[in-house]
Amino acid sequence: MTLTTIPVYHIVVCWIVFSLSLTPCYLPALISEVSEELSPGYQNSPILVSVDYRSDYPLAWYNLRPTWFLNVSDVEYTIQNPTAVPVRVQLTSQYPGYSTPTINVITIDARSTSMFRQFIILDVERIQGIRTPTRANLYYTVEYRDDDSWILHEAQTKPVTFYPMDQMVWATEDSRGKITIYHGLIATFVTPQSRGVADLLAKAKERATSDSDERYGEYRLERRLPGYIGSPASCSGAKNYTNLQVKAIYNALKYDYNLSYVHAPVAFGMGNSQRVSIPDESLSSGSANCIDGAVLFASALERIGIRPYIIIRPDHAYIAWDIDSIGTEKDALETTRLSYQDFEDANEAGRENWEFDSSSGRMELYQNLFDMDISHGDYSETYVLVDIDWLRSQGITPMDKRSEEGVAPSLSPSNLTALAHNALISLMP
Q: What is the mean pLDDT of residues 92-115?
A: 96
What pLDDT was estimated at residue 270?
60
Lowest mean pLDDT among 157-171, 248-262, 282-296, 342-356: 157-171
Same domain, yes or no: 27 and 99: yes
Q: Is 396 a domain residue?
A: no
What pLDDT was estimated at residue 36?
44
Which letter, b or e, does each residue of 351-370 get, where b requires 16 or more Cβ atoms within 10 Å of its Cβ? bebbeebbeeeebbebeebe
Which one of 114-128, 189-203, 262-276 scores highest in mean pLDDT? 189-203
> pLDDT higher for 424 or 136?
136
| Nearest one of 339, 114, 159, 308 to 228, comparing CA atoms | 308
d(CA 357, CA 360): 5
Rounded to 5 degrees, φ, ψ at 35 are -60, 145
Same domain, yes or no: 201 and 141: no
Q: Is 376 a domain residue?
A: no
State CA 34 to chain mean position distance: 23
Helix axes 290-304, 235-251, angle to 10 degrees: 120
Last residue of a domain, one of 333, 359, 385: 359
Query: Predicted confidence band at 172 (pLDDT cuts at 50, 70, 90)?
Result: confident
Same domain, yes or no: 159 and 198: no
Same domain, yes or no: 86 and 170: yes
Same domain, yes or no: 131 and 201: no
Rounded to 5 degrees, φ, ψ at 170 are -90, -40
Q: Is the pLDDT of residue 427 over 60?
A: no
Same domain, yes or no: 64 and 95: yes
Same domain, yes or no: 113 and 237: no
Contact (CB, 8 A) for 65 and 394: yes
Provide the residue type at 401 as one letter.
K
Q: Is 388 a domain residue?
A: no
For the chain, percent of residues with pLDDT exceeding 90 = 61
- List the CATH number of the domain containing 65: 2.60.40.10
Provide the residue type at 184 as one letter.
G
Number of domains making up the chain: 2
Last residue of a domain, one of 315, 337, 359: 359
Provide the domain limits for residue 65.
7-179+412-426
| Nearest one of 206, 197, 231, 399 to 300, comparing CA atoms | 197
Neighbour tally for 270: CB within 10 Å: 14
Torsion of CA 371, 375, 380, 386, to 10 degrees: 10
Q: Is 71 a domain residue?
A: yes
Q: Is 386 a domain residue?
A: no
Q: Is 372 a domain residue?
A: no
Last residue of a domain, one of 359, 374, 396: 359
- Longest Cα separation, the chain: 84
What pLDDT was estimated at residue 275?
87
Same domain, yes or no: 198 and 169: no
Same domain, yes or no: 285 and 139: no
Which letter, b or e, does each residue of 152-162 get, where b requires 16 or more Cβ atoms within 10 Å of its Cβ? ebbeeebebbb
What confidence tens digit (pLDDT) does each residue in 215-272 have?
999 999 999 999 999 999 999 999 999 999 999 999 999 999 999 988 776 666 666 6
Query: Predicted confidence band at 115 (pLDDT cuts at 50, 70, 90)?
Result: very high
Same domain, yes or no: 219 and 335: yes
d(CA 4, CA 52): 12
> pLDDT higher for 46 or 42?
46
Opening angle at CA 102, ends 101 and 105, nearest 5: 125
Same domain, yes or no: 244 and 323: yes
DSSP summary character for residue 187? G
Which residues are CB-neighbours of 328 under 8 A, at least 6 positions away?
A: 235, 238, 322
State CA 18 to chain mean position distance: 30
> pLDDT higher for 179 or 146?
146
Q: Is the pLDDT of residue 148 over 70?
A: yes
Q: Is 2 a domain residue?
A: no
Neighbour tally for 191: CB within 10 Å: 26
Same domain, yes or no: 240 and 138: no
d(CA 418, CA 414): 6
d(CA 68, CA 247): 38
Q: Is 406 a domain residue?
A: no
* CA contacts within 13 A on the Cβ side of 206: 8
